[in-house]
Amino acid sequence: MTENPDERILLVVLAHPDDESFGMGGTLAYYASQGVKVHLICATRGEAGTVDPALLEGFASVGELREYELRCAARQLGLAEVHFLGYRDSGMPGAPDNQHPQALAAQPVEKVAAQIASYIRQLHPQVVVTFDPIGGYKHPDHIAVHRATVRAFQLAGDPAFQDAFHPYQPARLYYHVFSKRMLKLYVLGQQLLGRDPRRFGRNKDIDLLSLVREGDFPIHARINYRRVDEQRAHAFACHVSQLPGGRPNRGWMRWLTYLTGLHDTFMRAYPPAEAGLRETDLFAGIQGEPVAG
């Protein structure tokens, strides 16, 4: 529980090391720079990610390397703390990692939700953020984290849910969503370069075209992170094992990001957004700590 009732706390619930930097790193750095305590729950250590064997020198496993990279990124972003749930990376659909007994995507939603709910009760965040219902780009672990976090948001304030902490209800729940405009520009960029937009990303396992056609989630909040873009870029660079050629992208996608504005976009899931809602601050109107249930 926070000792200062006026202290602002943001809890972000994600699946793998690098989700925090490659997705909403600008927003996390922005709020940390504003004095908000930003806590990250990471459900796995990214064990299924492919890694250049040379990068494993000095590390016992892929998971250990990727945890090291995440802690590097957390320092750059200014996060207050990183919390691991201890599950295993499930990999993309159809991968052998799907069958591992500790694979996140194979766990009961209630089990994972109970862990997240306990963190909510312990940390008292006013705002909770996670993936959208299709996990951004349909990764099974992202979808699993979305479902568990939505359920945890409900459980945390419910006196019937018993754990070591008192009931507590955060004020807001947001989903990080991709702008359809940006996705369409990425598709166009891939096509102009003669690349298949259905095979996007380091492992060529992201179908950008399907993302343009599906998951049309409304954007209720835009967070401008221009003033902390350098911190976001440094955090991005920490994830060497997940970067093409081991270095940040300085090409057309980086240029496109600057051209369209340095901001992250979010859908407000709770409380339900009124028509035409346009926010520039996830904490707007929240005074101090919400009343515990």
Are residues 229 and 210 part of one domain? Answer: no
Tell whether 221 and 210 lie within a shared domain: no
Alpha carbon distance 253, 171 (integer Å) = 35
| 48 and 104 co-located in one domain | yes
Compute the distance between CA of residue 170 and CA of residue 291 in angstroms, rounded to an integer: 8
> pTM, whole model, 2 decimals?
0.89
Q: What's the pLDDT score for residue 3?
A: 53
For helices 62-77 and 229-238, give the axis angle rounded to 10 degrees: 170
Question: Which residue range is the domain that position 61 belongs to?
Answer: 9-177+217-249+261-270
* DSSP classification of residue 1: -
Residue 112 Cα distances to 104, 150, 219, 254, angstroms: 9, 11, 27, 35
Task: List the pLDDT tens digit at each of the 293 positions of the chain.
Answer: 445 667 999 999 999 999 999 999 999 999 999 999 999 999 999 999 779 999 999 999 999 999 999 999 999 999 999 999 999 999 888 888 998 999 999 999 999 999 999 999 999 999 999 999 998 888 999 999 999 999 999 999 999 999 999 999 999 999 999 876 776 666 666 667 677 666 665 566 666 666 667 768 999 999 999 999 999 999 999 999 988 755 555 554 555 565 556 899 999 999 999 999 999 999 999 965 443 43
Q: Report whether 143 contacts 135 (CB < 8 A).
A: yes
Q: CATH number for the domain including 63?
A: 3.40.50.10320
Residue 166 lies in a domain: yes
Report how many domains make up the chain: 2
| 285 found inside a domain | no
Identify the pLDDT of residue 243: 86
